[in-house]
Structures are given as structure tokens and as C-alpha cells.
Amino acid sequence: MFEQLRKMLAQADADYADARYEVRKDCIVRFDGKELSQVGSNTTDGFVVRALKGGGLASVSFTRPEDAGIAVSTAMENATLIGRNRKSPVTLAPTTPIKDQFQPPLIEDPRQIPIEEKLELVRGYNQIPLGNSQIATTIVQYQDVTREKYFVSTEGSEIREDLITTRLLGQVVAKSADLTQNLRFARGGSNGFASVRGLDDYFDERTATAIDMLSAKPIEAGNYRCLLNPHLAGVFAHEAFGHFSEADIIETLPGMRAKMEIGNRLGSDILNIKDDATMTGYLGFYKYDDDGVPVRPVQLIKNGVLAGRLHSRRTAAEFKEPLTGHSIAEDYRFAPIIRMGTIFIEPGVSSFEELLAELDNGFYFVDPRGGQTAGENFSFGTQYGFEVKNGKLGQMVRDVNISGNLYTTLKEISAIGSDFALSKTGGCGKGQANIRSCHGGPHILINNLVVGGV
């Protein structure tokens, strides 16, 4: 395949060009309640070529190798047109050419597991909640996605890397006479099929929690001191802050760019946020981005001060900042954009019990349920929570929504737990889907959050 991609690029009379080829394999098993609603597998493949010419950068995707000549020619023509209509030419930050072939370490390769075995595993998990009379229905979906990627550039890079993602996700729906509550679940990772084995106890726990939610009380709206669990803290780091650390989000927004200038104080002194997709065994792990650049850890906030941001080769040149390796495409249909890898709040020093004691009176919220951001403001639903009185967990609460301003809230983080957890599955819809978007952190205590309720 490298030879075929080199021949494609030989047709490019450009300042720079690269070509990607990818084979994508999907396997899915899904139950809706007692019914098996989907089972099967699919394989697709395709190419993307990019050309930098005349100060413009353009890409073209295609699926038939015989269309390579037309695709390369079109990419160069489009790049030239883009260059003519730009105020300043596109440049790419320099990088060292790389020749490497990398296979991620796996504990059971899902490609080697028969689909019949996957089906029976999912069927068994689905039967656990359905065995309880208070569970009205379920959605249990298994999916593994394999992306076998090749990258070649006119600078001499030749990279082969596989990305393999295994996911088990869905919801358990509990129902009483006058109330329905649904509880989401998600397990999986990028380290193999073993990540979805041995989850019987987890499904027992999800079932019990969904039933407990039927007796939870609706929360009263107000401003409260709140403790967020690691998954919710991670979503806050990703959604409310992380996207503004992606250089392509802020580059054309002068006001936001000024606020996100390196060295600006954004949060409390105890706050440290990092993106590190080099951590093997976690969902967000990869070695090279789709610019052919090695990913590296990036300290985004250090002691409350903005210390770094995420880049492609193009934006690194634009901002005159170091490369980070965060230029990622959903698959062969797309040109890459800047994406977080594994973003997290770094652990602090407080135990969970110490955090509850410091909270004293407020709420403890567990896990996200959707959310959105609008500029500096965010709003997230949570799956459930608990009242905290005199530092002790009390009654479960439901129908919780938290909101606030990013910059205000970062400064309201008053204590950070010593624990640490990263998400087992991910999802980010910025421009393209990214199922390997990973987030997490410790428990965090926030002094003042707007909580929506009754």
C-alpha cells in the first residue's frame, strides 16, 4: 500500500502533499429490550489526498484507486483557489519524517472473536436487568471498530497504525406506576475485547441504581456547592474548557483568542489540566495523528494558568507554537481537524471523605447525561446525585442540570480529589464523530454552581 500511495503523490505538483488509505471494519450487536434488533459486520475502505499549493490547503476523498489522478488534480486546483482567496498563505509547521508501523497492545483482539461469541455475551448482559420486574426495557449495544490506517507524505513519512475500539453501551429503563427513569451505561476501551468481559456485577449495579432512581426526589433549583464525580469532572474539562484549547476553534475569534492567551490565569491555583493520548491501555491512546505527527502530552493548565494548547501542523505555524499531534480525522472520508485525545483534570490531595467533609452541605452529582456549550457558558445534565448534609451522603436526587460560565467556574474549584478515573467509552461531535474521545479526572469540589430543577 505504501508504494501505491507514493505513486499517487508523485502526480502532485504541489508544495506539499499527503495521502491516507484506511480500511474500516465495524461489528455490531444490539438488543432493544428482549429483541435482537441488529447483528452484523461491515468493511469499507477509501483514500484521502491533501495538497498545499499556492498558499491554500485542500483535500479530496475517494474510494476507487483509479480515481487517484483526478483526486490529486482536484486537490491541487482547490488548494490554488483557496490560496487566492486567503488573506495570508497556509503554512505547515516543520516535522521530522517518520517511517514506522505500529500495532497497539491488545488483551484479546476483537477481530479474532467469533460474532456468535459476541452475541451470546451481549445477550447474557441484557438478561440481567430484564430479569427484574421493575425494569421496563433496555438498550444494550456492542460495537467494535477497527481502522487500519496508512499515511504517506511528500516529505518522506510512511506510517501504518491500527486503531481498535471496543464499546458496550446503552441504558436500563426502570418504571413504577407513575414514573420512568433511565440510566445509561458504558464500558469498553482501546485495549481489546477483554474490556467488555466480566461485567455481570456492573450490570447488577446499574440495574439496582436505576430502580433506586424511582424513589429519588426531584432536586430544587438553586445555587449550591457541589461535588462532581470523575466522569462528570472529565466531561466538564472536555466540553467547557477543552474545546477552547483546540487552536482551530479560537483562531478566528479575536475575543476568545485574547482570553486564551498562554500565560493567562483561568482557574484556581490548585487546578491542573492535561491532554495525554500517549497513555497505553486507555480509550484515547494513539501514536501518530493524521498529519503524521507523533502525539505528545500537553499541559493545558498549570496551577490555574493557561500553559498550552492543541495543534495541527497548520495551526502550530499560525500560532507559532510547538506541534502536539492532535490533528485527527473520523475516518477516510474526512480531512483531519484538531481533536482532544485524553483530557483530564490532574489529581489533588483530598480523599473522598475529606471532600464530603469540606462540602459540608450541598450536593454530590454522578455521571453526565448530555450537555451543551454556548461560547463561555455550559449546561450539563447529570444522571443522578445525592444530598450532602453535615458531610454525609443523604437522599438520592434526580432531574439535575448544572450550568455556569467557564471562566467563573474554573476559579470556583476549591478542592480536588486524590483519586483518578478515565472514561471507558467516549464521543465528541465536533465537526466529525470521534468515538475515542477520552476524558476523566478525580472528584472535584466547586463552590458555586447553578443547579436547575423544580
The pLDDT-based confidence of 375 (bands split at 50, 70, 90) is: confident
Q: Contact 414/188 with Cβ under 8 angstroms?
A: no
User: What is the C-alpha separation between 153 and 98, in angstroms, rounded?
Assistant: 10
pLDDT in tens, 231-280: 999 999 998 899 999 999 999 999 999 999 999 999 999 999 999 999 99
- pLDDT averaged over every residue in the chain: 96
Handedness of CA 325, 348, 265, 362 (dihedral sign): positive
Q: How far is CA 207 from CA 121, 177, 194, 210, 261, in A?
A: 17, 18, 22, 5, 46
> Residue 328, SS3?
strand
The structure's pTM equals 0.96
Say if residue 219 is exposed, middle or buried (CB neighbours under 10 Å; 0-12, 13-18, 19+): buried
Say if residue 429 is exposed, middle or buried (CB neighbours under 10 Å; 0-12, 13-18, 19+): exposed
- Give CA 127 to chain center in angstroms: 29
Considering only CA atoms, which of 290, 433, 429, 424 is closest in space to residue 367?
424
Q: Contact 167/140 with Cβ under 8 angstroms?
A: no
pLDDT score at 454? 74
Considering only CA atoms, which of 246, 443, 264 is closest in space to residue 362?
443
The pLDDT-based confidence of 191 (bands split at 50, 70, 90) is: very high
The pLDDT-based confidence of 426 (bands split at 50, 70, 90) is: confident
Sorted by sequence, the CB contacts under 8 Å of residue 286 that are 6+ apart come out as 161, 163, 277, 295, 341, 436
Give residue 257's identity as a one-letter amino acid code: R
By mean pLDDT, which of 199-208, 363-372, 387-396, 407-416 is the weakest?
363-372
Element (H, E) at 250: helix 247-250
Q: What are residue 203's phi and psi, to 5 degrees?
A: -70, -30
> Residue 130, SS3?
helix
Flag whether pLDDT at 370 surpasses 90.
no
CATH of 2-215, one of 3.30.200.20, 1.10.10.10, 2.60.40.10, 3.30.2290.10: 3.30.2290.10
Residue 123 DSSP symbol: H
Flag whether pLDDT at 374 surpasses 90.
no
Say if residue 104 is exposed, middle or buried (CB neighbours under 10 Å; 0-12, 13-18, 19+): middle
pLDDT score at 118? 98
User: What is the C-alpha separation between 141 and 334, in angstroms, rounded?
Assistant: 26
User: What is the C-alpha separation between 442 and 427, in angstroms, rounded?
Assistant: 20
User: What is the C-alpha separation between 38 and 66, in angstroms, rounded?
Assistant: 34
> Residue 111, SS3?
helix
Domain ranges, ordered by start, for the chain: 2-215, 218-452
Rg of the chain, C-alpha, whole Å = 24
